[in-house]
Each structure stands twice: as structure tokens, then as C-alpha cells.
Structure 1
Amino acid sequence: GRKRRSVVQEVAVFIPTIRVPVATDVVQPLRGLVSKELVDRLATLRTNVVALAEDIYHGDMSAVSELQRALEEYLPVVLGLTAKESRLEASVQFSWRTIDDDQECCLASAWYEVLSVVHMMAMLALFEANLKLIPRDGQNGTEKKVSEDSKKDVVDSLLRASGCLDYSVHHVLVKIPAQIKKGFPSYLQEGMLEAISIQSLAQ
């Protein structure tokens, strides 16, 4: 009899818009307001994130992991600017752009920067899940079978993405004044973040 053709189904995770930071001068606005060491550290860490994020769409697992680590290192430093007593929350214009359509959003808000960083961590977790679900054979571009361990890793990545988005909604957005939020692109609005968080869990 005729052999039945096997159908290989490719499973992928939906990734909303990935946004990347745009080079921003953080030194000038903060000069004299905080220590030179802190300004230099903030500038160095952000510059590193900008550089690593540039080609992330073409990146592999190690590139994603490196960028995640850079974001995790940068986040607590930029959080320092949000402290009420520091009065630095609106001191720096932070700029981010979407990779797919190059739309840029620039706001003088450290909370916007924090939200953007956490959002990127979530998107990277989804991107990471895709890389695990669709592993490529480096030599000939053919797909390899996804192992059970990889599937567990994918679930971990999806949970991490959902956790980041949940944190964004309940711990970051609530700190941002309404007039600043008006300037946010649609994908940083509360409803969209919640929807993506739920979708991450559903996947």
C-alpha cells in the first residue's frame, strides 16, 4: 500500500512587538545630581543593553541569555531613579523603538524606562520559548525534535514572561502618573499587558 506522509507540525509562540532601547544621553541630565560613579554605571549598563539588543531578532539562545542578564543588571540601577526622595524620576528622556516598524517613543520618566525594561524581559522570554520550540540544526537548517526537557524549559519561559507582565501591571504601571501613561504606545497600556500575560499562560 501507499505510505502515509508524516506531517511535521511546527509549534510556535506568539511574540508581540519587541522594543529596543535607543541610545540616550543619561550623563548630562544627571551630572551634579548623583555621584559620578552612579551616572557612569547607569550609562555603561544602558549602552550595553542598547548594543546587545540591536540584533536580537537574529540572535540565538546565548544572545538572548546575555541580553536578559544585561537587563537584570540594569533594572535595579534605573529603579534607583524612581525613588521619590531622589526627585530624579523625570530627569532623563528615555527612548525606545519597535524593531518591526521603527516607531519611537521618548518620555522623561524613569518609570517608563523600568516598564520598558520589564516588558523587554517578558518579550525575550517569549522569544526564548520560540527558539526552544523551533530548534535549528546549525549545519543544514533542518529542524530537530523538541526534547521533553526543552518543553519544560518552554513552560518556564512562558511563566517568566507572564510574571514580568504581571509585575508591570501591578507594580510599575500603578506608579506612573496618568499624564505620562497617555504618551504610551498601545502595547504598554494595561489592557494589552494583561492580555499578553494571560496569553502567555494559555500557551
Structure 2
Amino acid sequence: MGCGASVPNGKGRKRRSVVQEVAVFIPTIRVPVATDVVQPLRGLVSKELVDRLATLRSNVVALAEDIYHGDMSAVSELQRALEEYLPVVLGLTAKESRLEASVQFSWRTIDDDQECCLASAWYEVLSVVHMMAMLALFEANLKLIPRDGQNGAEKKVSEDSKKDVVDSLLRASGCLDYSVHHILVQIPAQIKKSFPSYLQEVCRDTARIGF
């Protein structure tokens, strides 16, 4: 038994099968929508912190706008912006704090422009970490699909690139694992009910397996 490509032909040779491209499946990518974080937080935290939060989020919004058309450097720049923004927005989730539900954070899906706006800092943290995971998968795709192939020529992926792809996939896995075990459990049920449909499915799956 064997696949068709491994069966010898009449000349005693095996038919060669060439895979032109290998790609990593990327679920729905969500991007942040411009949100006023200054007014809701005015008087609750220092002006310096409000300004820093607003600046960092605005930077993420700007970089995410055209990420689908970006290259490796654009992905890396957005990843760095998210990593810089994440610890700041995490500060709004502190226990016994009025800040967690003080700002309406808005995100939309790129493919269908479905927008979800919720007054929850944990929702913002979940969205940021989810985007970091999706960017890692997007990065893996860029490494697996060299852009120097021309005229149908077979594309080559170096061994170093393949190792980098594994690192990207592990990074995406780590982000999603963190989301399930450390973020979703912090979000109240009434907030989860307002999630977009695909995030609702994630919540149901994690509840069913006991997370």
C-alpha cells in the first residue's frame, strides 16, 4: 500500500511530488479599534500613567492597521509594541481596583469587521495575548513561504528557517495556553456572554474540559 506519488510508473521510476507551498492555518485575526482611555481614567490614576497607556495603545492600533500586508519586520515591530503595552494594561486588572471596568475596549475582526466593545481590562489583556499568538502564526507563515520564488520554481526553506518556525509555533502555543489558564478564568460570565461567536466557542470548550 502507498500513496499515488510513491507507485512506480511504467519506466520503473517513482513519480515525484512537489509541494509548492506549506502554510500554517491562522484563525481569525482581531485588531484593536481606537478607544478613548484618557477620559474614563482621568482622576483615577496619574496623568503620566494615563498618557503612557493611551500612547502605547495608539501605537498598537496604528501598527495593526495594515499587518496583513506587512513583512517580517512589521510583524516584529507590532509584537514589540504589544509586549510593551501588555504590562501597562495588566495594571488595570489589580484586585480591589475600580479600574478593571473603567474603559470600553474595542476590537474588530479583519475578515468581517465584526466589532466587540467591552468595559473590561481582562478582555483587553485577552485580546492582546490572543493577537500575540496570531502574529506568531503569521510569522511562521512568512518564514515558510519565501518570497524569492519566481516562474513556478520550487521554493526552498532553509533549515534555520524551519527551526525558527518551530520557535514561532511554540510561542503561539504558550500565548494560547496562558490565555486559557490565566486570563479566561478571570473574566466574569456576563462579560464572556458578550464575546464574539468564535471566542464564545473557546469559552465553552475550556469549560467542558474543566479549565
TM-score, normalised by the number of residues in structure 2: 0.85
Go from structure 1 to structure 2 and tell me whether the alpha carbon gap of 1:82 and 1:13 turns closer, same or farther (over 3 Å shift): same
Query: Is 2:41 the partner of 1:30?
Result: yes
CA distance in 2, matches of 1:141, 1:80: 51
SS at match of 2:96: helix
Q: Report the alpha carbon displacement of residue 193 of structure 1 after superposing the two structures with TM.
A: 9.7
- How has the CA–CA distance of structure 1 residues 63 and 9 changed in structure 2, closer, same or farther, with 3 Å as cutoff? same
Deviation at 1:84, TM superposition (A): 1.5
RMSD: 2.9
SS of the aligned residue for 1:4 comes to coil
1:61-140 map, 5 Å: 61-137=72-148
Cα-to-partner distance string for 1:96-154 (whole Å, 9 max, x where unaligned): 00001100000000000000000000000000000000010299897741001111111
- Provide structure 1 residue ranges, at least 5 long, that are not aligned to the other structure: 199-203
The SS at the match of 1:84 is coil
Stretches of structure 2 lacking an aligned partner (at least 5 in a row): 1-11
Tell whether the 8 Å contact from 2:125 to 2:183 is kept in structure 1 after alignment.
yes
Q: 1:139 to 1:187 in 2, by over 3 A?
A: same
Partner of 2:170: 159
Secondary structure class of the residue paired with 2:63:
helix
Q: Alignment identity in percent?
A: 94
Contact residue 136 and residue 142 of structure 1 kept, 8 A? no
The structure number with the bigger radius of gyration is 2
1:20-45 Cα deviation digits (max 9, x unpaired)? 00000000000010000000000000
Distance 1:143 1:80, change over 3 A: farther
Moved more, 145-154 or 184-193: 184-193
Q: What is the number of equivalent residue pairs in this alignment?
A: 198
Distance 2:102 2:171 in 1: 31
The structure that is helix-richer by fraction is 1
CA 149–84 in structure 1, closer or farther in 2 if over 3 Å, else same: same
Q: How many angstroms apart in 1 are the aligned matches of 2:208 and 2:140?
A: 14
SS for the counterpart of 1:189 is helix
